[in-house]
Structure 1
Amino acid sequence: MKTTETDPTPGYNTKIPDSILTPDRVETSIGTLEFFDGFPTEETARKVFDNLDFSRGVKVFLDGIPGASLEAIRVGMESIHVTQCHHVGLAEELMDSNSLFLTGNTDTVYAVAFLDLERDGPTVVEIPPGCGPGTVNDAWFRFVVDMGIPGLDAGHGGKYLILPPDHAGDYPEGRFLVEDGYFVAKSRSYVNLVILRGFLVDGEPTAAVEMFKTGLKIYPQRDAEHPPEMVFTNFSNDDFNTIHSNDFTFYEELAHIIDKEPLELIDLELRGLIASIGIQKGEGFKYDDRMKKILTDAVAVGNATARAIDFQTREKEAYLYPDSQWKTGFLGGSFEWLKEDGRGGRYLDARTLFFYMATVNTPAMALEMIGKGSQYAYINKDSNGNFLDGVNVYRLRIPAPVPAKDFWSVVVYDPQTRSQLQTSQMFPSKNSEKSELHKNADGSVDLYFGPEQPPESHQNNWIQTVVRKGWFGMIRLYGPLEPWFRKTWKPGEIELLHSPYPAPTGH
């Protein structure tokens, strides 16, 4: 242990370890820090406090993405007049690229509603038989309860009672009760997202739309005798935004949540972190010019960090196969992003990776449910490791047989919005259920991606891209089968074609 000799003073230790001393001058990444015998100068204090506020601003952005994302969906749905619990946004002609939703799919009929348990008290959600995967998430995008096929009703339909966080009685977190004919779940927040999906029948959404319109009921429990009439708003072909901000207004979105929700929405540690940058329940969002400048910088760095985690990830576990660009959004196999069953704490980057690009938190997305639900993988680089560029022509081969009991699809997204890529196609996707895909002699399917319409022989298999714009893709298997989970089947890589389109290989 290295020590420093000091002037001999009665009662003074003359051998002090260097490791506990602070030099008078230290060179760091935030500049030169100066001290007088360990006392920081005013300039040094200014630098380190600026850096402390900056680092906390970055962390608030990364940790606050789930809450801000759900709040942005609420505001977006409010913009199309989904403002009461009995108002439902319904994608009657499927979700297209007009609306901005994080990696929304073109393959199922979405029904979206919001509960305000502070305003309405305990609220009933009646699920019709045949409902596909459905979930309730709280205001911090945490799991409350599943509905439909993966839910307590197992697709047979039923009544769910969602209780507010201040509801009296013993309702332990994560436990579901059956009381008086209800499946009962207690939320940690007042605002809750209800998102349901209906499956296509013969490639058409008609049956799912009818199922929701005739069978879905949402109302305050106090109005059970005379529930309000349901109001369905068709948001297909509608132009609106549900994505959180990536600039200073992100913190304003977060401030609304903190003011609206009970203190116990988040733990003391996170509450203190958010308060340290000026956001506190009952106090609003307080900042001066200095803090706004620092937080504007912090959110820019936070946004860049989230994008690096998603699109240049250093997490080896994200890659599904050796020497492949296909990645999963659920690292560690835990819907709570717990590392090694919690022994390694929370997998923070894995949580950011998911919520910056996707929505809806449910155990069903992380569990191995053979023949049920759905599984996803995403890709943003070609087989050479280069970003996917809309100016180029690429090919993706989907080997046969695809391990999907129901169907599979590939959807293309804009890396800026993480929403469906906006092109003249409206639906930037191909789906084995509703697309008349040309098949190769061995049953495999070649999908082509490029900015210009290909020859007629490839048109059914073509997804349009945009010159001077990047893109990324996502494959979904509905009713995934064992070869997916065992990784004995894998999609091909996305290959850059040097000639625009090859000759067809036959049916």
Structure 2
Amino acid sequence: MTSRTSPSSTDSLADLAADAYVYGYPLVFDVSMISASLYQGFGALPPTPFNRFGHATELATPDTHFVSVNNDTVYSIAQVDLSGGPVLLHVPDTSGAYYVLQFVDAWSNNFAYVGKRPTGTEEGDWLVVPPGWAGSAPERVRGVIEAPTAVISVIGRNACDGPDDLPRVQALQQRFTLAPLDTAPHRTGLPTPDPDVPEQLRFYEQLRVWMADFPPARPDQDYQERFQPLGLLEEGLSPYVNPDPALAEALTEGLAAGKARVEAASKPPADGNRPPGSWETNPHLFDYNLDHLGTGTIDSPRWKIADRQASYLVRAAAARTGLWGNHGYEAVYAYTFTDTEGGQLNGSRSYTLRFEQPPPVESFWSVTMYDTPDYYLVANPADRYSLGDRTPGLVYGEDGSLTVLIQRERPDDPAEAANWLPAPSGDFRPMIRLYTPGQSVLDGTYQLPPIVAKG
């Protein structure tokens, strides 16, 4: 990254604008998804105002237009506004069933967890408080969760073993509640970027407005000072309604360069030592939160990216490919674009994925199909979007192995059809999820099997 703070040419301004895009993309994408949750909803989640849970009534489908959405759990998502003070969170007793509430600030940092792994499955109350709060918590609460920003997202996932298990999950969902601790007014909307800003500069206007309303940790604020020449620290009237032509040109160039950098970082790194078809597994993809690690997190150097500036690109890539993904100790995500021959995975071919033994997890595992480049679930006549250890009817080998068949057409053989993961007609990228992974996953000694092309 460039360290120029007073650029004097379009080129240097464009370099700075690219840095700003990488730095600010997670905030803009995250707050945009908060807005969608409030006003449009997405997939099975209805539009839901602040400080209420919106519940999906079914597992995710291809209509759920969210990057790398899972098909293992039923979502309950709340956008929480703390501008009027603390909010009381109530969680029910899930009788040992897996669930997790993941707390994410406006910059996409995971800063707390409540659920089976971190806090158990018994009933209880938690107090969620705004930045800098210094009040007294009610005696009945199990703990206080301090939010880094005044607006946060609570991403709830309840494990669901398929359509027959939905009634149990739906009954639990109604018992996850949020309630303001006092009667102080809370906001009803988000800060609004100037609508007169040209579309090609809209990203920077969103970044300018939302950076001011949701300031990051102090070290990141110091880094933001570099962006003064771009107008990103201007208050009041937008500098992008009638910008200087040189600034507009630099911002446009920087936007394209920043996007290219994020896209490149979202692909597996070139590594000639890795066998073709290897799964990209990075338990540390979400380790970019360096400053606010609360309830249920592991505040250890092992789970923090040492280089703060390097963490900005990691954070952007994580938002691009898996916004609201968990830390590795809660769930590990693995993906691949290629088979053992090094060829791009494509629906014109058939493939197998053979597990000699089940992956080492404490909860459960799955493999889910996504298209490219959007990473959405793939529509198919079987309405099967994922497959895993909880999928009914899977056919295992006598030695305990499981061979998954990946192809576009439904197999004729009943055993193959039972283990079939439908693929799209074009390129695709499957993802394996390992919930509460074992130590061998986290330290890299366990290796996922590659996908093999048939014929």
Under a length normalisation based on structure 1, what TM-score does the superposition of the two structures give? 0.72
- CA deviations over 1:384-427 (Å, ceiling 9, x no partner): 22322232222211222432344321011223223323444544
CA distance, structure 2, for counterparts of residue 200 and residue 210 of structure 1: 12
Aligned to 2:102: 135
Q: What SS does the corresponding residue of 2:421 show, helix, strand or coil?
A: strand
Aligned to 1:159: 125
- CA deviations over 1:191-223 (Å, ceiling 9, x no partner): 10011111225762321221111x211011115
The answer as to 2:448 corresponding to 1:491 is yes
Select the structure of larger CA radius of gyration: 1
Aligned to 1:70: 30
Q: Structure 1 residue aligned with 2:283, among 318, 323, 330?
A: 330
Structure 1 pair 216/100, CA: closer, same or farther in 2 (3 Å)?
A: same
Tell me, yes or no, if the aligned pair for 1:448 and 1:462 is still in contact at 8 Å.
Answer: yes
One-letter amino acid of the counterpart of residue 123, structure 2: G
Q: What SS does the corresponding residue of 1:446 show, helix, strand or coil?
A: strand
- CA deviations over 1:110-140 (Å, ceiling 9, x no partner): 110001112x321111111226121211111
Tell me, yes or no, if the aligned pair for 1:383 and 1:495 is still in contact at 8 Å.
Answer: yes
Q: What SS does the corresponding residue of 1:280 show, helix, strand or coil?
A: coil
Structure 1 pair 331/407, CA: closer, same or farther in 2 (3 Å)?
A: closer
- CA deviations over 1:41-91 (Å, ceiling 9, x no partner): xxxxxx962111211121112112321232122122121363433432222
Q: Structure 1 residue aligned with 2:53, among 77, 83, 88?
A: 88
CA distance, structure 1, for counterparts of residue 237 and residue 28 of structure 2: 16
Aligned to 1:444: 401
Aligned to 1:186: 146
Q: Structure 1 residue aligned with 2:323, among 341, 355, 359?
A: 359
Tell me, yes or no, if the aligned pair for 1:255 and 1:284 is still in contact at 8 Å.
Answer: no
Give the gaps of 5 or more residues in structure 2.
1-6, 185-198, 291-300
The answer as to 2:259 corresponding to 1:303 is yes
CA distance, structure 2, for counterparts of residue 421 and residue 295 of structure 1: 35
Aligned to 2:386: 429
Q: What SS does the corresponding residue of 1:205 show, helix, strand or coil?
A: helix
CA distance, structure 2, for counterparts of residue 447 and residue 122 of structure 1: 48
One-letter amino acid of the counterpart of residue 313, structure 1: P
Q: Structure 1 residue aligned with 2:364, among 392, 407, 413?
A: 407
Q: What SS does the corresponding residue of 1:413 show, helix, strand or coil?
A: coil
Aligned to 1:18: none
Q: What SS does the corresponding residue of 2:338 show, helix, strand or coil?
A: coil
- Whose strand fraction is larger, Structure 1's or Structure 2's? 1
CA distance, structure 1, for counterparts of residue 347 and residue 353 of structure 2: 15
Under a length normalisation based on structure 2, what TM-score does the superposition of the two structures give? 0.79
Give the gaps of 5 or more residues in structure 1.
1-46, 170-176, 225-245, 368-372, 499-507
Tell me, yes or no, if the aligned pair for 1:134 and 1:196 is still in contact at 8 Å.
Answer: yes
The answer as to 2:418 corresponding to 1:460 is yes
Tell me, yes or no, if the aligned pair for 1:72 and 1:253 is still in contact at 8 Å.
Answer: no
Name the stretch that deviates more: 336-345 or 430-439: 336-345
CA distance, structure 2, for counterparts of residue 247 and residue 381 of structure 1: 34
Aligned to 1:279: 232
Q: Aligned-pair distance for 1:294?
A: 3.0
Tell me, yes or no, if the aligned pair for 1:92 and 1:206 is still in contact at 8 Å.
Answer: no
Q: Aligned-pair distance for 1:345?
A: 4.7
CA distance, structure 1, for counterparts of residue 361 and residue 263 of structure 2: 30
Aligned to 1:350: 314
CA distance, structure 2, for counterparts of residue 442 and residue 263 of structure 1: 52
Structure 1 pair 206/274, CA: closer, same or farther in 2 (3 Å)?
A: farther
Q: Aligned-pair distance for 1:302?
A: 1.9
CA distance, structure 1, for counterparts of residue 388 and residue 374 of structure 2: 22
Tell me, yes or no, if the aligned pair for 1:201 and 1:207 is still in contact at 8 Å.
Answer: no
The answer as to 2:269 corresponding to 1:313 is yes
Q: What SS does the corresponding residue of 1:56 show, helix, strand or coil?
A: helix
One-letter amino acid of the counterpart of residue 252, structure 2: T
- CA deviations over 1:1-56 (Å, ceiling 9, x no partner): xxxxxxxxxxxxxxxxxxxxxxxxxxxxxxxxxxxxxxxxxxxxxx9621112111
CA distance, structure 1, for counterparts of residue 321 and residue 153 of structure 2: 17
Name the stretch that deviates more: 478-487 or 387-396: 478-487
CA distance, structure 1, for counterparts of residue 324 and residue 275 of structure 2: 28
CA root-mean-square deviation: 3.3
Aligned to 1:380: 337
CA distance, structure 1, for counterparts of residue 53 and residue 304 of structure 2: 37
CA distance, structure 2, for counterparts of residue 304 and residue 435 of structure 1: 42
Aligned to 1:126: 90
CA distance, structure 2, for counterparts of residue 249 and residue 386 of structure 1: 38
CA distance, structure 2, for counterparts of residue 339 and residue 277 of structure 1: 35
Tell me, yes or no, if the aligned pair for 2:281 and 2:332 is still in contact at 8 Å.
Answer: no
CA distance, structure 1, for counterparts of residue 221 and residue 180 of structure 2: 31
Tell me, yes or no, if the aligned pair for 1:115 and 1:193 is still in contact at 8 Å.
Answer: yes
CA distance, structure 1, for counterparts of residue 216 and residue 454 of structure 2: 55
Aligned to 2:189: none
Aligned to 1:212: 173
One-letter amino acid of the counterpart of residue 72, structure 2: D
Aligned to 2:188: none
Structure scoring higher RCO (CA < 8 A, sep ≥ 6) equals 2
Q: Percent identity?
A: 22
User: How many aligned positions are there?
Assistant: 411
Tell me, yes or no, if the aligned pair for 2:287 and 2:305 is still in contact at 8 Å.
Answer: no
Aligned to 2:192: none
